[in-house]
């Protein structure tokens, strides 16, 4: 394995031979060249670069960068378990220290504001690594923390970590009773009312909450309190008639219940929760393919007597080690998750749309790998859909319990672009995926990411849930990807597809954009929805498409690119569609405009010119900005491969048009007015 330019790992493979051109041997600055010529050159270079990143097994994976709380909590876990070693602490501290801003804080996304909880956790991690509290960088951080209310103002998850070492009182944290595991699905606040990521975190935390462990703290944190004499100031109660007030009083009742809870019932509940956790451990030892549930699951099982040499614990700790990315300077960064399936299907789409032959060996190898990743056993989604056969794809290497609808749609779109040597195998896999996606449609006609109708309003009201999204309602971006996939599969006129289209049209913002749940933000939502609507037969003249085009043109930056800051999730009016130009967001805007028939427009020309002009000599782009989300605003992601796959997709569609759409009779390239009503395709397996 070799380190690649963008920080991912991959085997070095021979790039696709670019077509001969008179300009290949001449260095032409993109700004000085004509836009079509510059686009063609940029496409060839980006194609070769992306092909060079593929792993020998067929997948692509870029680093998934989040924020330093992952690194801090990893150190706190190891300190709690008594396995923190000097080398790990040194390498983690090197990374955390390097992320500190001039004002002494840590942000949760590039160029974002200082975040109180992230700064507290980073500070504690550096103390664990040996940084002295009176060192200038530490004193500056502590001063800022106190000015923002100190530890008492931090989010619940941060205070839970501090409570593990006696730096915060368990009594001053929201109560999470393990008896929650017994709630049937029809009872409000049962575990399946929560999104899958929250569910996997809450179940182990009910054990932690019941046990309330305290390990001896290696040092005090008085410097992080506004008043060390009163480290746990009482929080005011909201009015009883308000939802917040009602749930605060419910929490008080749960604290009272804790004192009288029958011991046998509590012990049985914790053991049931432990079985639930163990049953969901993946083959590689992780939980859900994401770091937070793995961390809390390891702690919960440890508190129940599982020693570190137990196979479940050993596998869990080994899986956490695989989330570590070691950098050339010796720093160690922890990924919250890994995205090989997502990265691979997007890479295949980009390469195919850029003109790589459908039977190119590297595309076939990618298809083979994706086919092997299809999930053919039930997971937690089957609680709401017990009769639905499996057939989805997950985001990660190992996550059979939680395939997601977005990945499944994009994998189907990728597989359709590959000429495979076993077409029957591909058809069977696509059929299973289409059937599963159709079966996961919510009752409003749209699709969420992991679950069906995961829309209860109650989980977000819990005092415990003061950070990020804890439910998984349908979103425009996921729904758009499913609609686009269904259109390609010949299901445009299926009633289920039409309901999805109607939902998307109803969700359009007044300014013409769409909200982006899993990417930043209105540029991502709009860049997802417009190609889906046109693939499903809406003409470029449709009012919804024209409003989207007008909005995209209105937010184009003066340099020709597009960008959107994560602040748009919090301050919509000021930041919607506004921010420094990035390669991925420029590509999303271009994909929408091209789908809307705007290839000859000035906006497209300027956007393509910006991509060509900002491309590096090796065919890559630089993108320090975070353009992905785990939770809008609260948890942001920099997918290091986004800067490669999406610009190449946009460039490819500009240079080559959209032959894929023409082949499948979808989109503005096809004569939709003459298109007959679509029938159920062979890919749709009977029984959907």
Three-state helix/strand/coil letters over 140-153: HHHHHHHHCCCHHH
Give the CA radius of gyration of the chain.
25
**337 secondary structure, DSSP code:** B
DSSP H or E segment with residue 429: helix 423-439
Say whether 406 is catalytic.
Answer: yes
Quick one: pLDDT band at residue 442, thresholds 50, 70, 90? Answer: very high
Counted residue by residue, the chain has a size of 688
Mean pLDDT on 118-136 = 97
- What confidence tens digit (pLDDT) does each residue in 34-56 have? 999 999 999 999 999 999 999 99
Burial 288-307 (b: 16+ CB within 10 A, else e): bbbbbbbbbbbbbbbbeebe
DSSP H or E segment with residue 568: none
CA–CA gap between residue 447 and residue 434 (Å, rounded): 13
Tokens for 84, please give them. 């923190």
Say which residue, 125 or 466, is predicted with more confidence: 125
What is the average pLDDT value for the chain, to the nearest integer? 91
CA–CA gap between residue 640 and residue 106 (Å, rounded): 20
pLDDT of residue 18 exceeding 50: no
Mean pLDDT on 108-125 = 97
Q: How many CB atoms lie within 10 A of CB 263?
A: 7
- What confidence tens digit (pLDDT) does each residue in 627-640 have? 999 999 999 999 99
- CA 194 vs CA 327, 336, 386, 644: distances in Å: 36, 19, 18, 34
CA–CA gap between residue 653 and residue 651 (Å, rounded): 5
pLDDT for residue 307: 95
CA–CA gap between residue 95 and residue 334 (Å, rounded): 10
pLDDT for residue 617: 96
**CA nearest to 642, candidates 510, 520, 544:** 520
SS3 248: helix
Residue with tokens 């330093």: 68
Rounded to 5°, the CA angle 112-116-121 comes to 105
Residue 6: what are its φ and ψ, rounded to 5°?
Answer: -90, 10
Residue 649: what are its φ and ψ, rounded to 5°?
Answer: -60, -45
pLDDT of residue 30 exceeding 50: no
pLDDT of residue 661 exceeding 80: no
Give the burial class of 559: count Cβ atoms within 10 A of its Cβ; 0-12 exposed, 13-18 middle, 19 or more buried. middle
pLDDT for residue 523: 98
**287 secondary structure, DSSP code:** B
Exactly one of 63, 71, 74, 406 is catalytic; which is it? 406
Give the chain's domains with CATH numbers.
46-64+338-454+470-672 (1.50.10.20), 67-334 (1.50.10.20)
pLDDT of residue 669 exceeding 80: no
DSSP H or E segment with residue 74: helix 69-81
In DSSP notation, 201-245 reads HHHHHHHHHHH---PPPSS--GGGSS-TTSSSPPPPPPPTTSHHH
Tokens for 500, please give them. 């999805």
Quick one: pLDDT band at residue 667, thresholds 50, 70, 90? Answer: low
- What confidence tens digit (pLDDT) does each residue in 159-192 have? 999 999 999 999 999 999 999 999 999 999 999 9
In DSSP notation, 101-152 reads -TTS--BSSTT--B-HHHHHHHHHHHHHTT--TTSHHHHHHHHHHHHTT-GG
CA–CA gap between residue 92 and residue 352 (Å, rounded): 39
Mean pLDDT on 389-397 = 97
């Amino acid at each position: 394995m070799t380190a690649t330019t963008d920080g991912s790992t991959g085997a070095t493979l021979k790039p696709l031979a670019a077509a001969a051109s008179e300009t290949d041997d001449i260095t032409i600055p993109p700004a000085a060249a004509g836009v079509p010529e510059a686009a063609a050159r940029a496409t060839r270079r980006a194609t070769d670069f992306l092909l060079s990143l593929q792993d020998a097994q067929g997948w692509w994976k870029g680093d998934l960068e989040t924020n330093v709380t992952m690194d801090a909590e990893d150190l706190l876990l190891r300190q709690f378990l008594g396995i923190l070693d000097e080398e790990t602490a040194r390498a983690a501290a090197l990374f955390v220290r390097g992320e500190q801003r001039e004002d002494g804080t840590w942000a949760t996304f590039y160029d974002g504001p200082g975040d109180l909880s992230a700064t507290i956790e980073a500070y504690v991690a550096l103390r664990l690594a040996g940084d002295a509290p009176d060192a200038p960088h530490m004193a500056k951080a502590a001063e800022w923390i106190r000015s923002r209310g100190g530890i008492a103002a931090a989010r619940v998850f941060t205070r839970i970590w501090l409570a593990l070492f006696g730096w915060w009182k368990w009594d001053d944290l929201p109560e999470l009773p393990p008896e929650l595991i017994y709630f049937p699905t029809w009872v409000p606040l049962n575990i399946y009312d929560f999104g899958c990521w929250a569910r996997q975190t809450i179940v182990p935390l009910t054990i932690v909450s019941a046990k309330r462990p305290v390990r001896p703290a290696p040092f005090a944190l008085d410097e992080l309190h506004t008043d060390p004499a009163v480290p746990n100031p009482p929080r005011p109660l909201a009015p009883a008639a308000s939802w917040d007030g009602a749930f605060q009083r419910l929490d008080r009742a749960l604290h009272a219940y804790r004192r009288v809870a029958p011991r046998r019932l509590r012990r049985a509940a914790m053991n049931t929760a432990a079985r639930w956790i163990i049953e969901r451990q993946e083959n590689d030892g992780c939980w859900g393919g994401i770091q937070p549930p793995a961390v809390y699951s390891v702690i919960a099982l440890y508190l129940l007597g599982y020693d570190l040499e137990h196979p479940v614990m050993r596998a869990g700790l080994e899986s956490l080690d695989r989330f570590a990315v070691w950098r050339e300077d010796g720093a160690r960064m922890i990924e919250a998750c890994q995205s090989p399936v997502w990265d691979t299907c997007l890479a295949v789409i980009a390469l195919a749309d850029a003109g790589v032959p459908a039977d190119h060996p590297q595309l076939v190898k990618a298809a083979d790998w994706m086919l092997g990743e299809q999930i053919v056993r039930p997971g937690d989604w089957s609680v709401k859909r017990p009769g639905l056969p499996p057939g989805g794809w997950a985001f990660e290497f190992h996550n059979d319990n939680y395939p997601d609808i977005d990945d499944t749609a994009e994998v189907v779109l990728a597989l359709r672009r590959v000429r495979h040597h076993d077409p029957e195998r591909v058809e069977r896999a696509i059929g299973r995926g289409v059937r599963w996606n159709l079966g996961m449609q919510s009752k409003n006609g749209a699709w969420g990411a992991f679950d069906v109708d995961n829309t209860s309003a109650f989980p977000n009201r819990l005092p415990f849930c003061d950070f990020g999204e804890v439910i998984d309602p349908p979103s425009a971006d996921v729904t758009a990807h499913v609609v686009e996939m269904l259109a390609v599969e010949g299901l445009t006129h299926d009633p289920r597809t039409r309901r999805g289209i109607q939902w998307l049209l109803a969700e359009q913002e007044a300014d013409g954009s769409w909200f982006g749940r899993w990417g930043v933000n209105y540029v991502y939502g709009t860049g997802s929805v417009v190609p889906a609507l046109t693939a499903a037969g809406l003409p470029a003249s449709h009012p919804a498409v024209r409003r989207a085009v007008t909005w995209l043109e209105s937010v184009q930056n003066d340099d020709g690119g597009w960008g959107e800051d994560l602040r748009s999730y919090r301050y919509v009016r000021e930041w919607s569609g506004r921010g420094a130009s990035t390669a991925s967001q420029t590509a999303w805007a271009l994909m929408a405009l091209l789908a809307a028939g705007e290839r000859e427009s000035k906006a497209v020309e300027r956007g393509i010119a910006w991509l060509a002009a900002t491309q590096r000599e090796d065919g890559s782009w630089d993108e320090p900005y975070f353009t992905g989300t785990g939770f809008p605003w609260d948890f942001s992601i920099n997918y290091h491969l986004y800067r490669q796959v999406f610009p190449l997709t946009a460039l490819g569609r500009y240079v080559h048009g959209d032959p894929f759409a023409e082949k499948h009779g979808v989109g503005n390239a096809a004569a939709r007015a003459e298109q007959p009503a679509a029938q159920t395709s062979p890919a749709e397996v009977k029984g959907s």
